Amino acid sequence: NAGVTQTPKFRVLKTGQSMTLLCAQDMNHEYMYWYRQDPGMGLRLIHYSVGEGTTAKGEVPDGYNVSRLKKQNFLLGLESAAPSQTSVYFCASSLWDFRDTQYFGPGTRLTVL
């Protein structure tokens, strides 16, 4: 039982490049989330999903897209990376909604030059 895994763990991009972060969970959770963590800012929600085939915007969605084609996977895409997207990205999942305990992945450190 791996819990929540994220791929890759580190990535360096140049401005304008694109990439996709992959999140996978093996707990059969309905809800999945993408957060970003910046120094002194806590965690901020980018997008979330309430089930397979659904996505919704969070607090800071601009510049990101997401997809949830399979229940266990939640992808975060950056179409044209900008230096402001340099951050640590965390994926999380929960059995039911935001009131439930969220289980986090180990994070992806992304640097955009």
Distance (Å, rounded) from C-alpha 39 to C-alpha 18? 23
Q: Please identify which residue in 8, 59, 70, 111 interacts with another protein, judged by CB under 8 A.
A: 59
Q: Which is nearer to another protein, 17 or 45 (CB)?
A: 45
Distance (Å, rounded) from C-alpha 38 to C-alpha 89? 9
Contact track, another protein, 81-110, x by CB under 8 A? -------x-x-x----xxx-xx-xxxx---
Q: Which is nearer to another protein, 14 or 99 (CB)?
A: 99
CA-closest candidate to residue 44, choices 56, 55, 59: 59
